[in-house]
């Protein structure tokens, strides 16, 4: 498990183009998130379901002593539920969340067109999560931004769990 503040060496980096991102699978989808949003990766932790949350919220886990929402990235992006091989702890404006993902493919330099260029592909709620669309080799890649992933009701349920209130 990678500790806070330790960044692995960069791989497959193109000079001066794109953003440095962690690339991973989310069901049938290939995704990336900016490395500066990543706290750490880990094996999936014990997760407790939360009643009344959206289907893409797997529940809540305890990450470094703090109750943390767990989001199934594949389900969130419309790829359906997928087995979680890894949890990816990411920073948000309200605290850490854990992304349940498939295989972590490594750190890459990622180039992605802003989502404004793809309104048909990214209509609805996904525009708040997907920062851009690009490719890795011949495969489409979604560059994610974690800042607005978790709805308010999930944070409220997580707070209730941490204080012992009913959810």
pTM: 0.77
Q: What is the pLDDT of residues 26-47, one digit of tens each?
A: 999 999 999 999 999 999 999 9
Domains of the chain: 19-162 (2.40.50.180)
As a whole number, the mean pLDDT across the chain is 80
Q: What is the pLDDT of residues 86-107, one digit of tens each?
A: 999 999 888 899 999 999 999 9
DSSP state of 12: S
pLDDT reported for residue 161: 67
What is the rounded average pLDDT of the residues 126-130?
A: 66
Instruction: Give the bridge partners for 130, in sequence order.
Output: 144
- Quote the tokens at residue 131: 């920062």
CB-CB neighbours of 151 under 10 Å: 15
Q: Helix (H, G, I), strand (E, B), or coil: what is residue 9?
A: coil
pLDDT reported for residue 17: 62
Which of the four pLDDT bands, split at 50, 70 and 90, describes residue 116?
low
Degrees, nearest 5: CA angle 73-75-78: 110
Q: Which residues, in sequence order, are CB contacts of 71 under 8 Å at separation 6+?
A: 56, 57, 58, 97, 98, 99, 100, 149, 150
- Quote the tokens at residue 52: 């009344």
Which of the four pLDDT bands, split at 50, 70 and 90, describes residue 12?
very low
DSSP codes of every residue in 47-90: -B--TTS-TTEEEEEEETTEEEEEEEHHHHTTS-----SEEEEE
Q: What is the pLDDT of residues 137-155, one digit of tens each?
A: 899 999 998 666 666 777 7
Which of the four pLDDT bands, split at 50, 70 and 90, describes residue 126?
very low
CB-CB neighbours of 39 under 10 Å: 18
CA 116 vs. chain centroid, Å, equals 20
């Amino acid at each position: 498990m990678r500790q806070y503040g330790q960044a692995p060496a960069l791989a497959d980096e193109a000079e001066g183009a794109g953003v440095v991102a962690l690339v991973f699978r989310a069901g049938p989808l290939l995704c990336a998130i900016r490395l500066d949003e990543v706290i750490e990766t880990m094996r999936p932790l014990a997760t407790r379901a939360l009643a009344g949350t959206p289907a893409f919220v797997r529940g809540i886990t305890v990450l470094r002593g703090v109750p943390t929402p767990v989001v199934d990235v594949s389900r969130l992006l419309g790829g359906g539920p997928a087995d979680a091989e890894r949890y990816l702890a990411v920073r948000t404006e309200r605290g850490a969340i854990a992304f349940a993902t498939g295989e972590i493919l490594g750190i890459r330099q990622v180039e992605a067109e802003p989502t404004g260029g793809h309104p048909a592909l990214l209509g609805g709620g996904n525009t708040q999560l997907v920062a851009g669309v690009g490719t890795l080799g011949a495969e489409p890649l979604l560059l994610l931004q974690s800042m607005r992933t978790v709805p308010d009701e999930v944070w409220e349920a997580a707070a209730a769990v941490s204080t012992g209130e009913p959810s």
